[in-house]
Amino acid sequence: MFLANVLNDSICQPIKEPYERWYAFMEKNVEFWLPDSEWHTKTHCARVLLLSLIIGHQKGLSDEEKNALGMVAVFHDSRRLDDGIDKGHGARAAAYYKDYCRAHDLPFDEQTYYITYYHDQDDSLGLSEIAKSPRLGERGVLLYQIFKDADALDRFRLGPDGLDVKFLRTEEGRQLVEFAKDLLRKSTESKA
Ligand SMILES: [Fe+2]
Ligand SMILES: [Fe+2]
């Protein structure tokens, strides 16, 4: 299991089970358009999965909300056409998620859909669209911020200056900066 060498850290204990479940789900079911991508690999998604579950747990999310974040993590970069900004890959990944639910008779989660859809857009747009949706509201905004922080915390893979921490949205995210750097180091020693 990828990141097995990290999962026994006390910080990971409470979210070990959903991490393993969503990681296995991604490996088995989610098809990536850019399998040779340098920066947006399944290993990136696995680290984002772990980080979003940790922040989600610290924020006291329900199991259902944590599962919504897990689903976003495993789908969010699956429909990239290139490794640049590639605006629109969020919308494509959200469409893929929706089709996947339909084809596999899986309950469709609107939070998952919207967070995936807007994750590649500026917060101002993502937050206003999510806040507008009557069924998402405040919880949806919180989930979006958690996910964006988890995705951002893996930017150290781009280099030591890959993330400007002042742009993190949550206090929990800010507290995880050193953990995220360490996670990246350990993930190079872990087999997928
Ligand atoms: Fe993305
Ligand atoms: Fe990402």
pLDDT score of 191 more than 80: no
The amino acid sitting at 61 is L
Q: What is the pLDDT of residues 154-168, one digit of tens each?
A: 999 999 999 999 999
The pLDDT score that the predictor gives to residue 192 is: 65
Ligand 1 centroid distance, CA of 99 (Å): 19
Residues 36 and 83: their CA atoms lie apart, in Å, by 10
> What's the chain's average pLDDT?
96
Residues 22 and 70: their CA atoms lie apart, in Å, by 6
Q: What is the pLDDT of residues 84-111, one digit of tens each?
A: 999 999 999 999 999 999 999 999 999 9
Ligand 2 centroid distance, CA of 112 (Å): 14
Ligand 1 centroid distance, CA of 76 (Å): 6
Ligand 2 centroid distance, CA of 73 (Å): 8
Residues 153 and 168: their CA atoms lie apart, in Å, by 8
The pLDDT score that the predictor gives to residue 137 is: 85
The pLDDT score that the predictor gives to residue 190 is: 82
* Concatenated DSSP letters of 61-89: --HHHHHHHHHHHHHTTTT-SSSS--TTH
Lowest mean pLDDT among 23-27, 30-34, 135-139: 135-139
The pLDDT score that the predictor gives to residue 155 is: 97
Residues lying with their CB under 5 A of ligand 2, a single-atom ion: 77, 151
The amino acid sitting at 99 is D
Ligand 1 centroid distance, CA of 145 (Å): 14
Ligand 2 centroid distance, CA of 154 (Å): 8
Residues 25 and 27: their CA atoms lie apart, in Å, by 6
Q: What is the pLDDT of residues 112-126, one digit of tens each?
A: 999 999 999 999 999
Contact predicate 89/81, CB 8 Å: yes
Q: Hey, how many other C-beta atoms are within 10 angstroms of the C-beta on 119? A: 23
